Amino acid sequence: VALGSLPEIDALQVEQSRSNEIETTALTFVLTQPVKYRYFTLSNPNRLVVDINDAMLKADVAKVPLDNTVIKSIRAGQTGKQVRLVFDLKQKTDTQITLLAPKSNYRDRLLIVLTSKNAAITSKQIPEKKTLNTSKNSLLLKAAPERDIVVVIDPGHGGKDPGAVGSYGAREKEIVLGISQALYHLMKNEPGLKPVLTRSGDYFIGLRGRLQKARNAKADMFIAIHADAYKNRSARGASVYALSQRGASSEAARWLAQKENYSELGGVDLNGLEDSDKNLRSVLIDLSQTATIAESLDIGESLLSHLSHINSLHHETVEQARFVVLKSPDIPSVLVETGFISNPSEEHNLQNPAYREQIAKAILTGIKQYFVDNPPRGTLYAAQKDEQQAQLAHRTQELPYRIKKGDTLSLLADEYHISVEAIRKRNGIHNGDINVGQTIILPAIA
Ligand SMILES: [Zn+2]
């Protein structure tokens, strides 16, 4: 195996949290591919040693901030194709390690969770170190080749719940069903996308029932369709919502309390965790929610940019709220308020099938654009992106490139198979500065 094709450990993130007297440190290694690993602990002084086989360490672990964590220092060494990481610990900890499967724009990760009783608070004995059944915990989702991206479309309200009612009698439940069905039919004709409706007629489904349908369908994303009402009849325009942090916290508490109802999270079998004190479970839920909200916000932005061609925007950016239907911790979820049914001219528009079709098209374009940029692994969109990347890797001509949010010169250099220096030189960039929206020229590969 050439070193260049080995999995790489690209980054290390450390998060610290505390509940009651339990200190939890979550270490996330960001990987380019899944890895094989083993670990053991040593005492006097306390250390955790993690060996990762057939991998290259790219992250600078010495620079990771460790303030307030249970870790004193991290040492890392690469011997041939083996990476050894030694964590010097301030006290004895419980250690749990699990590989996390990639999730849309998040890559493979190795998660190490260290828990310890805060010695200053409790005099209770630290529980015996638990053994970890790695075969149970290293759950990698193996997707079938080129599966479809599943989009669950949720028309709001229905049946005994009419939703908002306009001054000319338009009912939200009918309008949003019309938009959702238009979206469903457009999406059905899109290779690589598979739409699923939570309701296809005028009947009632509870909010939790909608979440369950998304889980059953193994949704890659969830989109709820609504039409607002407000006492001020001049209020108008579309809005997009993602879950708020407070909504996420209350849902995490529910997942912990109703353990038996929530056994699977983003491909990880939570019942398979040896985790009597629920710490690992709690960290996994938290990490998943953080990632899912970030993805939902990105999807929301993509939707707003296309909805803005059809309707004015009531909110220019994605709003965050505690809507129940947005609470799936592992399924990016957005709620689109397509317009105000309480505004007579919008009510009129929303009753027009041609207008609904336009809204549905804008939503579809926003969804497609998001998945072109962030294809879930194993999908047709991912295969297309890979092929595009392969072509880029052999490009014989220069390529103009518009800087996006999150781009850095070194990420671009990696992605486009050239050196940072080559990009700097071609574009006359003297420091690291690049600005979102700026267009630079990526040199050809000689
Ligand atoms: Zn509604």
Report how far ligand 1's centroid is from the alpha carbon of 350 (Å).
14
Q: What is the pLDDT of residue 368?
A: 97
Choice between 183 and 389, residue whose per-residue pLDDT is larger: 183
Q: Which tens digit of pLDDT belongs to each residue from 255-312?
A: 988 888 888 888 778 877 776 667 888 888 998 999 899 999 999 999 999 999 999 9
Peptide bond into 375 cis (omega under 30): no
Q: Which tens digit of pLDDT belongs to each residue from 194-221?
A: 999 999 999 999 999 999 999 999 999 9
Instruction: Work out the pLDDT band at 74, boundaries 50, 70, 90.
Output: very high
Report how far ligand 1's centroid is from the alpha carbon of 84 (Å).
53
Measured CA to CA in angstroms, residue 362 lies from 153, 306, 368 at distances of: 14, 5, 10
Mean pLDDT computed over 376-388:
85
Tokens of 355: 């207008």
Mean pLDDT computed over 62-82:
87
Q: What is the pLDDT of residue 129?
A: 31
Q: For residue 99, is pLDDT > 50? A: yes
Work out the burial of residue 87: count CB atoms within 10 Å of its CB; fewer than 13 is exposed, 13-18 middle, 19 or more buried.
buried
How far is residue 201's CA from residue 292's CA, in Å, rounded to a whole number? 29
Instruction: Work out the pLDDT band at 28, boundaries 50, 70, 90.
Output: confident
Q: What is the pLDDT of residue 113?
A: 87
Q: What is the pLDDT of residue 60?
A: 87
The chain-wide mean pLDDT, for the chain, equals 86
Most confident range (mean pLDDT) of 138-147, 183-192, 375-384 is 183-192
Report how far ligand 1's centroid is from the alpha carbon of 153 (Å).
14
Report how far ligand 1's centroid is from the alpha carbon of 305 (Å).
22
Q: What is the pLDDT of residue 136?
A: 28
Report how far ligand 1's centroid is from the alpha carbon of 374 (Å).
29
Report how far ligand 1's centroid is from the alpha carbon of 252 (Å).
25
- Helices within 65-171 (DSSP H only): 134-137
Report how far ligand 1's centroid is from the alpha carbon of 188 (Å).
25
Range in 15-24, 151-160, 290-299, 413-422 the model is least confident about: 15-24
Q: For residue 70, is pLDDT > 50? A: yes
DSSP annotation of 5 reads: G
Q: What is the pLDDT of residue 104?
A: 56
Choice between 302 and 415, residue whose per-residue pLDDT is larger: 302
Report how far ligand 1's centroid is from the alpha carbon of 242 (Å).
15
Is residue 174 a contact partner of residue 156, using CB atoms and an 8 Å limit?
no
Report how far ligand 1's centroid is from the alpha carbon of 339 (Å).
10
Mean pLDDT computed over 176-203:
97
Report how far ligand 1's centroid is from the alpha carbon of 157 (Å).
6
pLDDT over 90 percentage in the chain: 46
pLDDT over 70 percentage in the chain: 90
Q: How far is CA 243 from the centre of its chain?
A: 12
Report how far ligand 1's centroid is from the alpha carbon of 8 (Å).
46
Measured CA to CA in angstroms, residue 14 lies from 146, 286, 290 at distances of: 34, 14, 14
Instruction: Work out the pLDDT band at 128, boundaries 50, 70, 90.
Output: very low
Mean pLDDT computed over 428-445:
86
Report how far ligand 1's centroid is from the alpha carbon of 291 (Å).
26
Mean pLDDT computed over 229-258:
92
Q: Which tens digit of pLDDT belongs to each residue from 323-364?
A: 999 999 999 999 999 999 999 999 999 999 999 999 999 999
Report how far ligand 1's centroid is from the alpha carbon of 359 (Å).
16
Q: Residues 6 or more apart from 296 whose CB is under 8 A from it? A: 242, 243, 318, 326, 332, 333, 334
DSSP annotation of 147 reads: B
Tokens of 219: 């949704």
Residue 229 C-beta-side C-alpha neighbours within 13 Å: 16
Report how far ligand 1's centroid is from the alpha carbon of 176 (Å).
8
Report how far ligand 1's centroid is from the alpha carbon of 163 (Å).
5
Report how far ligand 1's centroid is from the alpha carbon of 170 (Å).
13
Q: What is the pLDDT of residue 412?
A: 87
Report how far ligand 1's centroid is from the alpha carbon of 327 (Å).
16
Q: For residue 416, is pLDDT > 60? A: yes
Q: What is the pLDDT of residue 387?
A: 81
Report how far ligand 1's centroid is from the alpha carbon of 150 (Å).
23
Report how far ligand 1's centroid is from the alpha carbon of 178 (Å).
14
Q: Look at residues 346, 363, 347 and name the one whose alpha carbon lies nearest to residue 305.
A: 363
Q: What is the pLDDT of residue 414?
A: 82
Q: What is the pLDDT of residue 377?
A: 82
Mean pLDDT computed over 9-18:
83
* Residue matched to tokens 């993805």: 295
Report how far ligand 1's centroid is from the alpha carbon of 411 (Å).
41
Q: What is the pLDDT of residue 124?
A: 37
Report how far ligand 1's centroid is from the alpha carbon of 223 (Å).
13
Report how far ligand 1's centroid is from the alpha carbon of 172 (Å).
7
